[in-house]
Amino acid sequence: MTHDPQLARLGLFDARVPRYTSYPTAPHFGTDIGPGDFTQWIEALPESSAVSLYIHVPFCRRLCWFCACRTQGTTSDDPVIAYVETLKTELQLLQRHLPKGVTLSRLHWGGGTPTLLSPSLMRELADAVFTVAPMAAGGEFSVEIDPNEIDDARLDALAAAGMNRASIGVQDFDPLIQKAIGREQSYQLTRDVAERIRDRGITSLNADILYGLPFQTGPRISDSVQKLLTLSPDRVALYGYAHVPWMSRRQQMIPSDKMPTPEERLSLFETARELFLWDGYVEVGIDHFAKPDDGMAKALKAGTLRRNFQGYTDDTAPALIGIGASSISRFPQGFAQNASATAAHTKAIRAGRFSVHKGHRFAGEDLLRARIIEALMCDFFVSRAELLRNFDVTPSRVEALFQQAAGEFGDMVKVSDEGFQIPERARPLTRMIARAFDAYDSAKAKHSSAI
């Protein structure tokens, strides 16, 4: 498979750029944001508005080597039980400050492994959430499910609580690759869990799969994708594995000498992409695929696709509130992140205060640049008219921003009277082009792999 030589010349295969699930990105958050700011931002939400709620469960029965998320292993239920008590207290604290009539447009339980909770803990947590705010009409309650850590009793508890979208982590079905990344999970087990989810009336199913893993080849990723397609997921996230063993100690267990080259990574992505497209999926942004009747594909068509810390979303709520250790919230005023360590988070909540310890207050051109980056990541196009209509910015300033990026990427981008566009052949460079609008990343430095 051949690639445009300009991709290499512009640094695609050796640059490291953010994933832009926020702007500014989390490494640029400062310690000037604390519990007081978080409380004020909650209280400033409009009455009877809809918000998103994210619940973070940082525990796993086993720590997969490929994962760089902030998690901790446990073989005992004791720390999990204690943590759920902390979450319930935190939700009570949230309820005290939340304006009247607020509902949930989205509720997501992530981790870690939220499905390691016992059925009784799941019920307790769901009851605590819905005491704070009910689901909005048409709202979505999704849970990340580890097929190795789920059974009928827990699926029954989640279905009874109102889960209407499930997300299954697949990564890869090849046994050699699974062993190399510390995540052994058979196709048969995954298929069985998917069937049991649907047997409970949960018709919306997401799946995650990775490219760029050790030992991964074109034929191997083709086999894994085709097996995944037999499960008929409604949405698929095709993420690039970021091998950062100097940052994530557990990744040191993965053989670095068996990693594909950057050029091979791009070929792996393109192989998987073609299979999803051949099967009728709609390409969403840089790394998602959805069935045409899925809400994400509809949002893409309607121009309402958005991006947040979970990746692409069709949720348009103005606020995302994060509950639990290390969770990040987004408000119209800025970002707020809870204490990362479970102990520090628990100590703050038990003292009757939120654990927010850093964040960012929007100022200057933050919201303008955030929208440009989001539009590029979602639509590969920034509307000049939209920017002038929605932001306090002059035509000359918009033109200057566009031309600055065009000067860096030349004919790999297109500036017109309508706006700024990334042509299809340049879409592998999307994150790099988005970085050209990032005022905080002036050093063009290294947060994650480029492809």
pLDDT per residue, tens digit, the chain (451 aa), is 456 666 656 656 556 788 999 999 999 999 999 999 999 999 999 999 999 999 999 998 887 767 766 677 778 899 999 999 999 999 999 999 999 999 999 999 998 899 999 999 999 999 999 999 999 999 999 999 999 999 999 999 999 999 999 999 999 999 999 999 888 999 999 999 999 999 999 999 999 999 999 999 999 999 999 999 999 999 999 999 888 888 778 888 888 999 999 899 999 999 999 999 999 999 999 999 999 999 999 999 999 999 998 889 999 999 999 999 999 999 999 999 999 999 999 999 999 999 999 999 999 999 999 999 999 999 999 999 999 999 999 999 999 999 999 999 999 999 999 999 999 999 999 999 999 999 998 544 433 333 4
Q: Say what the pLDDT of residue 306 is.
A: 96
pTM > 0.85: yes
Q: Say what the pLDDT of residue 14 is.
A: 56
How many beta carbons lie within 10 A of that of residue 8, not counting itself? 14
- For the four alpha carbons of 426, 428, 434 and 436, in that order, the dihedral sign comes to negative
Q: Say what the pLDDT of residue 448 is.
A: 38
Q: Say what the pLDDT of residue 176 is.
A: 96
Tell which residue, 386, 388, 379, 382, has the closest CA to residue 437.
382
Give the contacts of 360 (CB within 8 A, at least 6 positions apart). 24, 28, 29, 30, 33, 334, 335, 366
Q: What is the identity of the amino acid at 25? A: T
Do 220 and 209 touch, CB atoms closer than 8 A?
no
Alpha carbon distance 434, 237 (integer Å)? 20
The token pair that represents 356 in the structure block: 């927010």
Residue 181, class by beta-carbon neighbours within 10 Å (0-12 exposed, 13-18 middle, 19+ buried)? buried
Q: Say what the pLDDT of residue 386 is.
A: 98
Query: Any bridge partners for residue 240, and if so which?
Result: 211
Do 41 and 336 touch, CB atoms closer than 8 A?
yes
Taking only Cα atoms into account, the Rg of the chain, rounded to an integer number of angstroms, comes to 22
Alpha carbon distance 80, 121 (integer Å)? 9
Give the contacts of 216 (CB within 8 A, at least 6 positions apart). 172, 174, 177, 260, 268
Do 51 and 320 touch, CB atoms closer than 8 A?
yes
Q: Say what the pLDDT of residue 3 is.
A: 61
